[in-house]
Structure 1
Amino acid sequence: MKKTFLLQEVIDDLVNTDKSLSAPLMKLNYFGRLIKNQDLIDYTQNELNGYRDKETIPDYRRTIGTLYIDLQTYYNQHSRQLPFSLIEEPYRQAFKYVYVREGIAAIEKIARENEKSDSGGQIVTPLPMEMLHILQEPARKLYQADVRIDVVGAKLAGNASIVVEIPNAIRTKLLDFVMSISDTFGYDIEIDSFNKKAETNNQTIIHQMNTTINNSGDGKLINTGNENKIDSNVALYKGDIARLQKELRDQGIDEADIAEISKIVISEKPNEEKAILGEKSNGWISKVINKSLNGVGKIATGISSNLIATLIKQYYGM
């Protein structure tokens, strides 16, 4: 009996923003096992169960941190901020970011709780005692006193909004990835046929992962469909809404959708530092891609969410 993996099921899960990302990640993990692609297995496993190794954590799972130290002076303790610039390399980079390691189910739960709360809040990572000696000299230089100052505790704090942005980033990147491999192998992949050229086909899968999932959001245009028509030398000017509308119109996006995203980009602020679009922009992209998949309007069937996201990012100057 031939086994066929249906990529359309994964796409349906991804465009349904009410559905947990655990479902498409689990299906792609299963697909990775069927085709024996360790890169895909590792990525989906990490997103499902959480990241142990900091070196493998994607950029969209980190946020700039603020370093707080607890100072002991005789019997008194004070909590103060310590700028990263006072810490020497190579230690400085170790304190720069707060990393979110949890699996996607835990992140989605925290994100739901944050959305219900009016306070932005922070995520906090306590630093181990073994690292405190690195902070002693910088702290004493900054906070000079007539008595001995010791750093007895420290923590990194980051903006809790990162846990809301992570699911959006994963959903958008996975949608790009799945549509890219669908363009190459079709929406229904017959596993036995795929595995007859396993080495070559898996290299294609890995390449698509590197250009859609693992890219750092540098604004490069990823053009994955034969019907995607965009000049890679064209750069939208920051704040030029007319230019953005023209480029979207050239992709076959209807006027009502263009009017909707025009209002969104004017009012919504993205995370420029991490090159992540806002929640409303990502939701709009998912809706447009869903229209494309269902053959609604004149939207090019091969258009990718990465391409649309790039156009919107160029409007923001990202």
Structure 2
Amino acid sequence: MTAPLDIVDIHAHLWPPAWHPGGRYEKPAGAFTPEIHQKITTPQALVDELEQSGVSLAVVTATVESLFGTEGNVPLAAVREANDWLATLSHEHPTLAGFAVVDAFAGEEAALEAERAIVDLGLSGLVIDSSRDDKFIADPVVRPTLDVAARHRVPVFVHPVAHPNAEVLIRGAGNLGNSLGRGLMNGVAFLSVVQSSLLEELPDLHLVFATLGLGAIVQAARGGVYALPARQAGRRPNIYFDTMGHDPDIIHTLTGFFGADRVLAGTDWPILAALNRNEFRESLAQAGLNEQEARLVAGGNARRLLGLRHDQAAAAE
């Protein structure tokens, strides 16, 4: 009998209590339905859904955009409060692992908070916005934060942000237009990295992008490190994409282009429901993955990324 999959959801969201109704930074539901708003402000809802679905672990983030909007000042005190809560959440719930939120476009200030969150709070990685103030993550202002992540060998989730003309896209295609715009911003962030020298200069930097940015692989395939000869030679940088669900065609495309060891299970919970263990196994099989590849995508790759920091500490000892 085949053993159950160990599933790690790399892409889940919760808002800290200070952003709940009545909190100091109270944030309205916005475009969220009442059900989704209730979930994103209720950690136990995520814990219960993971248990019911057979998911072992979820990585929880609260992005700069979701907490502070797409522009304007990002108060450091509020960022620190969010990270303090994420650390507490991780300690209280063994099925949740927090990634620290940092405004990577704040330069050295962001790097200092990243260092505090990783070293002092013990958070497992970072989440950064793919773009802010017309800059993308290969911009020099982001480098101090990425230096911290590489030095401590923790993964960085690069989260999509709204397109500057999101309202136009929504008028044209509804919510799918908004998602496409967010994918464009995430895809440009991905391309900004692969066209830079960032990954060569920081070999211990591991970046995870959301599937919304998948369209960028068309451009990536035309040249550079993701041209066909480079892929055939196995020259692949430390870049990963999440599945954002369990569609077998998307999984097949991701694993075919990046390789099964560069794809991570993810949902964007509570926008999407938790991955059902049995349904996800079937989707991985339909995507053409063998048992070893399926286990890498389901949780093996995420476990490896989350363990790199500890491997480094063990080697140092």
Q: TM-score, normalised by structure 2?
A: 0.26
Please identify the structure whose Cα radius of gyration is greater. 1
